[in-house]
Amino acid sequence: MGGIIEFFTQNPLAIPLFLIMFTAIIAVHEFGHYITARLLGMRVLEFAFGFPPRIAAIRRGGIDYSINAIPFGGFVRILGQDDFSIEQHGAGDPGSFTSKPWWAQAIVLAAGVAMNFVLAVVVLTGAFAIGTEAPAGTVKVEEVAAGSPAEAAGIQPGDLIRSIDGKEITRTSDLQTYVYGHAGKEVSIVIERGGSTVGPLILVPRPTPPENEGPLGVKLTEATTPPTALPLPQAFAQAVRLTGDVVVQIADLPAQLLNRPAGQPGPPPVGGPIQIFLVTAAVSQLGPAAFLKLIGVISVNLGVLNIIPFPGLDGGRLFFVLLSAVLRRRLSPQVEAAIHAVGFVLLLGLLVVVSVADIRRAAGG
């Protein structure tokens, strides 16, 4: 208990900043659904933060604006879009979701994700304009594990990784993805040391590296420029680049999880709400630019994850809309509702699993 009290004493802004961040990201996402639905003539019934049970609500213009008990999420309820209901309402109503053409439905479903990317670019532009570190396009070796392929090849801390098998390396994710995909095979790496080119060095990435070591046995970092306030055009360009980098890193995550050695102890390299809270606590000490950067990165994460075609997510709903357009008929609303309900339960289960992993990670287990 003393440790928890000490944590909150040292990080008094953690909780309010965490709530502000999640509220902003969710509100912008749901506003995308809300505004496009209204512009396309759909009748919005509810704009909600969190998932039921409901805590409080106010009604304005026939729309309920509600706050619910489960805080990690939110939704906009549109007439005829009863994802989890066996009895579908609003059929035939000109203001219902299903009365509109498939392309209008697709726009509404994709608008939340689009707004997450807009938010990310806006806040990241603000961060770079205020002054924050920017990627320099250089990957540096921080540590080399004893007995590792990297040590055997002569790689040293401070070396810059320039290329692997002729492929230029500008991000740690570039190297990690390539190495995991070539485990057990020879690769050639060119490095820079003291301004001179060294290599190519021949290494064989390990398929099953020791705990807390990667296939090569190196700890990498991306070199950054010193915090500098950039002009808006340059800040915007850096924001777009960082947004793209985050998307690439998320896309690489499944390969990293699949290549994770069987039986390797410790939680998987993914984080949930608890991990995000701990990161927020750390970032709260670093100033407004760092906080804006965190909002942008998490907004991109939310957007990418939401567009995955999994039941219960925007991407899952969009999949059914596009499938109906291809088949020229809608699938059974009852079957679709059941699939989304199962997907939602699975997502809640995943949230629990990831949260347990967060706790283990925070406890050092």
Residues 123 and 51 in one domain: yes
pLDDT at 36 over 90: yes
Are residues 95 and 66 located together in one domain of the fold?
A: yes
Residue owning tokens 């066996």: 86
Q: Looking at the structure, tell me whether residues 118 and 180 fall in a common domain.
A: no
User: pLDDT tens digits, residue range 309-361?
Assistant: 887 788 888 888 888 888 887 776 667 777 777 776 776 666 665 555 544 54
* Residue 87 and residue 115 in one domain: yes
In a domain, residue 142? The reply is yes
Whether 87 is in a domain gets the answer yes
Flag whether pLDDT at 55 surpasses 70: yes
Residue 116 is assigned to a structural domain of this protein: yes
The answer to the question of residue 44 being in a domain is: yes
Asked if the model's pLDDT at residue 35 lies above 90, the reply is yes
pLDDT band at residue 263 under the 50/70/90 scheme: very low
- 186 and 123 housed in the same domain: no
Pair (124, 138) in one structural domain: no
Residue 242 placed within a domain: no
DSSP, collapsed to helix, strand or coil, labels residue 116 as helix
From the list 168, 180, 357, the residue with the least C-alpha distance to 252 is: 180
Number of domains in the chain: 2
| CA 139 vs CA 143, 189, 222, 226, 322: distances in Å | 12, 12, 5, 16, 41
Judge if 92 and 140 occupy the same domain: no
What pLDDT is attached to residue 53? 82
Please identify, among 177, 208, 227, the residue that sits at the C-terminal boundary of a domain.
227
69 or 354, which is more confident? 69
> Does residue 257 lie within any of the structural domains?
no
Predicted local distance difference test score (pLDDT) of residue 361: 46
Other CB atoms within a 10 A radius of the CB of residue 237 amount to 15
What would the pLDDT profile of 130-168 be if each residue is shown by its tens digit? Answer: 887 666 667 778 777 777 777 777 777 877 878 887 777
pLDDT of residue 336: 74
pLDDT confidence tier of residue 125, bands split at 50, 70 and 90: very high
Residue 180, domain CATH: 2.30.42.10
Residues 178 and 118 grouped into a single domain: no
Indicate the residue among 191, 208, 227 that finishes a domain.
Answer: 227
Own/partner long-range contacts of 154-157 (Cβ < 8 Å, ≥24 apart): 154/198, 154/201, 155/189, 155/191, 155/201, 155/216, 155/218, 156/193
Same domain, 116 and 13: yes
**Of residues 321 and 9, which shows the higher confidence score?**
321
In the listed set 227, 250, 278, which residue is the last one of a domain according to the structure? 227
Mean pLDDT of the chain: 76
Do 123 and 139 lie in one domain? The reply is: no
Per-residue pLDDT averaged across 161-180, rounded?
76
Lowest pLDDT segment from 39-53, 248-262, 282-296: 248-262
pLDDT of residue 37: 92
Mean pLDDT check: name the lowest of 53-62, 121-130, 247-256: 247-256
The confidence score (pLDDT) of residue 40 equals: 92
Residues 48 and 166 placed together within one structural domain of the fold: no
Its pTM stands at 0.66
Higher pLDDT, 104 or 5: 104
Question: Is the same domain home to 303 and 330?
Answer: yes
Which residue segment(s) compose the domain that 106 sits in? 2-128+296-362
Cis before 101 (ω within 30): no
- 363 pLDDT higher than 60: no
